[in-house]
Structure 1
């Protein structure tokens, strides 16, 4: 199916932004400039700008014009998860291990009809406090499913995968989204009973891919973390400046 003209133009402009043709905060093309450059109507030019704004590539400021968004997009950086537990002991509580059959999860894992996946639900504890609830949905082809009746075998899901399939999930490509917001009140009541139902959580959605040309994926995981126990440091590959203490 042929793309609409405004989508084709937006793709060209996004490619230019990814290549660094314009920097974050730079003035972007106006409607008139887009019309002239791509020989299109005002309607198409406006659709291009609207799409780029929807995808958070540009920011339109009333009375000033359109600017490249200041948020980073696909910039190469080093990521460091910060351990916020300090000196408190950490441990993992496995809540359940079972086969799953959620059509949404199956779609995310790209499983064929006869392929299975395993759901591992765990709590990360610091001292006697639950600070993270995680649901790992794992392609059953990469773990020994005979272990399902032994929850203690899944204290470390990635170690389970390493032992059973010789794959190291930490070295596999993945996509992860981090969002902040409230979650299902039933989850708060069940796993964080000392917290209000409107508690804000860091929500992480992680898709781990397989290292070869496989139709399916290895993992689809969802984690809910208390924000005071979560931290992330990013260092740009363009240079690192030692932070002032």
Structure 2
């Protein structure tokens, strides 16, 4: 006899496969599934956790559990802003400015941006959303010595690359990017609506303008259930 949690798992996965539950739809509540299958909350959660691990469902703290949307795919060999990537994939993007303040660059940051230690740097924290759902928390550092007008940019707008090129007249030529893993702390978990300790993608990017001059150093924490990185390799 099939265990109850597998019955619930199959019930939900079949609804997803048949299109009854579509990407972005909220699944029945734990209480509804408990009553439907006459089981305990633990059994329901066991079924849901299996589907989350398989990538079919995603839990959103304070909202419920939803059918996973298609992951947004970025290719490493093409330099695009986050906004350009999202628009190209057919989705809508938005940004929420969390904070903006001038700080002094410590030795490590100064080395990355190729500026004197303790020079003025504009630190900008933003929450990036796709189709209204939280995607990433991005922290950017801009050297004030390179462009004093940086502080006048609209950081609640979506594309900073566009503003750097159009408003400041600086031409972005390349970027150096690294990808690693990290875990959500209490602050980030609240912003991205995930549990504390949830694995995240950590993407750092050093954006460079003409004459090999850095204009931005960015650290982004991305939900891996919504963001995918791919690269073509040749031999």
Give TM-score scaled by structure 2 length. 0.55
Question: Does the C-alpha gap of structure 1 residues 143 and 204 become closer, same or farther in structure 2, counting only changes over 3 Å?
Answer: farther
1:79 Cα offset (Å): 5.2
Q: Which has the larger radius of gyration?
A: 1
Across the aligned residues of Structure 1 and Structure 2, the Cα RMSD in angstroms comes to 3.1
1:85 Cα offset (Å): 10
Counterpart of 1:209 in structure 2 is: 208
Is the 1:84–1:231 contact (alpha carbons within 8 Å) kept by the matching residues of 2? no
Is the 1:79–1:233 contact (alpha carbons within 8 Å) kept by the matching residues of 2? no
Partner of residue 226 from structure 1, selected from 211, 216, 223 = 223
Give TM-score scaled by structure 1 length. 0.53
Is the 2:127–2:134 contact (alpha carbons within 8 Å) kept by the matching residues of 1? yes
Superposed CA offset, 1:111-160 (max 9, x none)? 12574221121111123321111011112223514516x544x5322122
Question: Does the C-alpha gap of structure 1 residues 79 and 212 become closer, same or farther in structure 2, counting only changes over 3 Å?
Answer: closer
Is the 1:182–1:199 contact (alpha carbons within 8 Å) kept by the matching residues of 2? yes
Distance in 2 separating the partners of 1:186 and 1:229 = 19
Stretches of structure 1 lacking an aligned partner (at least 5 in a row)? 1-76, 239-245
Distance in 2 separating the partners of 1:115 and 1:156 = 25
Counterpart of 2:182 in structure 1 is: 181
Distance in 1 separating the partners of 2:234 and 2:148 = 36
1:227 Cα offset (Å): 0.3
Number of residues of Structure 1 aligned to a counterpart in Structure 2: 154
Is the 1:79–1:234 contact (alpha carbons within 8 Å) kept by the matching residues of 2? no
Is the 1:202–1:224 contact (alpha carbons within 8 Å) kept by the matching residues of 2? yes
Is the 1:92–1:124 contact (alpha carbons within 8 Å) kept by the matching residues of 2? yes
Partner of residue 147 from structure 1, selected from 106, 129, 152 = 152
* Matching of residues 4-83 of structure 1 within 5 Å: 78=77
Superposed CA offset, 1:39-95 (max 9, x none)? xxxxxxxxxxxxxxxxxxxxxxxxxxxxxxxxxxxxxx8459875997653212222
Question: Does the C-alpha gap of structure 1 residues 177 and 146 become closer, same or farther in structure 2, counting only changes over 3 Å?
Answer: closer
Distance in 1 separating the partners of 2:77 and 2:117 = 38
Counterpart of 2:128 in structure 1 is: 124
Question: Does the C-alpha gap of structure 1 residues 230 and 85 become closer, same or farther in structure 2, counting only changes over 3 Å?
Answer: farther
Distance in 2 separating the partners of 1:146 and 1:226 = 28
Stretches of structure 2 lacking an aligned partner (at least 5 in a row)? 1-75
Counterpart of 1:195 in structure 2 is: 194
Please identify which structure carries the higher strand content. 2
Counterpart of 2:103 in structure 1 is: 100
1:179 Cα offset (Å): 0.9
